[in-house]
């Protein structure tokens, strides 16, 4: 079945037939700088008796794992090799440019393989300092701010207008506790900041304590920097750490590259011991990027999308997204062959509403929200509070954009900022976003947010007359997204 051509025309439930022409696929395959803006997305459907969409793909390397690996390789003693890295995406390129400024040497072997010669635990910074501009790369900004503890001089961390609104205050406080001098050069608690490390990178305390934070990246950055501190570092996370799955990813990666890590039960206490040597690493496919294609299958009855390279042992919380779709009625299968892992989702006749916690996979919330817009009732999502401080305020953005379809999103349910409800429109006794050919034109704003663009594009697979503004913003983490989406059509 897999590898067979996708269908050209179909029905969705009892809706009228929507033709799928090759024009949409041809447009989606254009280079990013040649895409029309706004970008039209054409519905995919099939006629009775025709084979449903069947697609197998491997997304690019995980952004979260790539940027962690880049930082660790740049700090390590010796030359590391990183395969299947997310090369060419803006977030990763910002990190690569920054570590080169700080003294690491980068060799690009091919499109996804890097060799990085590290600095042996100490960034090479002149006494007058160095300035790093990281655009809107949250991982690079938080990780490098934490790793500024390891420099021989001051490091200034800055970004674009949105990055200057994103929180850094809890990390700033932690760095000061460790003995660094931090000057806040703009809005307090946000970039730009100038960080002068403590003498000899020797922290003034051995243990840091945190409660819930605005971003788990503060913790991950400190854990990775700890591998090069003279005596390592212990972090007490308390009983409810933010986005614990991402902290777990960092701990597992440190262990995989040979850093000694000790954790208590439920990872409340984490102790990182000093010692970081060069390593070889294969980066997993990006599970966040895979969510869009699993969701595409769930939205198209009978469609099947298989993502290769991911299994039940993935370090990424988003690799559990198919089970979220399974609770809504989608079929989910996982390979039993450990040498050739894959995860497949198959579209049901209709999607049921869901009650779920997205705390372990916040970046997949927008993907699931689009699926909920086509469900047969109100869905309740928990674990969403961190969406306020991402590339945009993603909760406000979802309210506005899905509101254009008649979807109602309520936040602060029962005064809980971590909960939102999603209620599809209802018309003539039918619940869910209408998919009729005469649907009015809808142009979705994307807020220069790659995940908003990729999530909202899924609406167009079911609803006619959908257009995506600023489609180029996907280059932040998934430059080939539109080309891969085109594979659903052909």
DSSP character string of 1-52: -TTSPPPSEEB-TTSPPEE--HHHHHHHTS-GGGS-SSEEE----B-TTSPP
C-alpha distances in Å from residue 35, one per residue of 59, 72, 90, 187, 473: 21, 36, 18, 36, 11
3-state helix, strand, coil in the chain (%, to 5): 35, 25, 45
Can you give the pTM of this predicted structure? 0.92
Whole-angstrom Cα distance, residue 129 to residue 126? 5
The residue with tokens 């910002």 is 94
Q: What angle do CA 223, 106, 149 make, to 5 degrees?
A: 30
Q: In what order do the strands lie in the sheet with 331-334?
A: 54-57, 304-308, 342-346, 331-334
Structural domains of the chain, with CATH? 52-61+284-349 (3.65.10.10), 63-282 (3.65.10.10)
Active site residues: 363
pLDDT in tens, the chain (490 residues): 444 333 333 333 333 333 444 589 999 999 999 999 999 999 997 777 778 899 999 999 999 999 999 999 999 999 999 999 999 999 999 999 999 999 999 999 999 999 999 999 999 999 999 999 999 999 999 999 999 999 999 999 999 999 999 999 999 999 999 999 999 999 999 999 999 999 988 999 999 999 899 999 999 999 999 999 999 999 999 888 999 999 999 999 999 999 999 999 888 999 999 999 999 999 999 999 999 999 999 999 999 999 999 998 999 999 999 999 999 999 999 999 989 999 999 999 999 999 999 999 999 999 999 999 999 999 999 999 999 999 999 999 999 999 999 999 999 898 999 999 999 999 877 888 988 888 999 999 999 999 999 999 999 999 999 999 999 999 999 999 999 999 999 7
What tokens does 253 get?
């990666």
Q: 136 and 159 in contact (C-beta within 8 Å)? A: yes
The residue with tokens 């212990």 is 234
């Amino acid at each position: 079945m897999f590898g067979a051509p996708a269908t050209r025309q179909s029905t969705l439930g009892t809706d009228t037939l929507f033709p799928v022409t090759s024009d949409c696929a041809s447009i989606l395959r254009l280079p990013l700088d040649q895409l029309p803006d706004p970008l039209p997305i054409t519905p995919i459907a099939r006629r009775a008796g025709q084979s449903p969409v069947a697609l197998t793909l491997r997304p690019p390397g995980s952004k979260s794992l790539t940027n962690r690996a880049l930082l660790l390789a740049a700090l390590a003693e010796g030359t590391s090799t990183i395969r299947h890295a997310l090369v060419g995406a803006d977030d990763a390129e910002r990190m690569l440019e920054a570590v080169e400024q700080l003294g690491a040497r980068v060799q690009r072997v091919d499109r996804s393989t890097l060799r990085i010669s590290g600095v042996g635990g100490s960034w090479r910074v002149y006494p007058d300092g160095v300035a790093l501009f990281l655009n809107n790369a949250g991982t690079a900004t938080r990780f490098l701010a934490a790793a500024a503890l390891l420099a021989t001089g001051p490091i200034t961390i800055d970004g674009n207008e949105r990055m200057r609104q994103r929180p850094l205050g809890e990390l700033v406080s932690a760095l000061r506790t460790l003995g660094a001098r931090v000057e806040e050069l703009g809005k307090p608690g946000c970039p730009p900041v100038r960080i002068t490390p403590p003498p000899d990178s020797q922290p003034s305390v051995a243990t840091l304590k945190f409660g819930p934070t605005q971003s788990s990246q503060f913790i991950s950055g400190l854990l990775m920097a700890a591998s090069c501190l003279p005596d390592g570092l212990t972090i007490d996370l308390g009983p409810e750490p933010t986005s614990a799955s991402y902290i777990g990813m960092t701990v597992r990666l440190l262990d995989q590259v040979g850093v000694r890590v000790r954790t208590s039960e439920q990872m409340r206490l984490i102790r990182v011991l000093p010692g970081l040597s060069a390593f070889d690493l294969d980066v997993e496919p990006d599970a966040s990027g895979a969510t869009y294609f699993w969701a595409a299958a769930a939205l198209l009855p009978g469609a099947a999308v298989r993502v290769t390279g991911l299994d039940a042992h993935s370090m990424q919380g988003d690799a559990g997204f198919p089970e979220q779709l399974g609770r809504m009625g989608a079929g989910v299968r996982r390979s039993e062959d450990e040498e050739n892992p894959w995860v497949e989702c198959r579209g049901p006749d209709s999607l049921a509403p869901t009650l779920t916690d997205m705390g372990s996979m916040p970046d997949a919330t927008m993907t699931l929200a689009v699926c909920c817009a086509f469900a047969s009732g109100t869905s309740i999502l928990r674990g969403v509070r961190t969406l306020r401080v991402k590339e945009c305020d993603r909760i406000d953005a979802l309210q506005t954009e899905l509101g254009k379809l008649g979807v109602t999103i309520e936040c602060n349910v029962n005064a809980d900022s971590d909960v939102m409800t999603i209620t599809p429109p209802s018309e003539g006794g039918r619940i869910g976003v209408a998919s009729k050919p005469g649907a009015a034109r809808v142009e979705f704003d994307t807020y220069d947010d790659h995940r908003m663009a990729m999530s909202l594009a899924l609406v167009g697979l079911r609803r006619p007359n959908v257009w995506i503004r600023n489609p180029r913003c996907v280059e932040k983490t998934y430059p080939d997204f539109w080309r891969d989406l085109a594979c659903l059509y052909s």
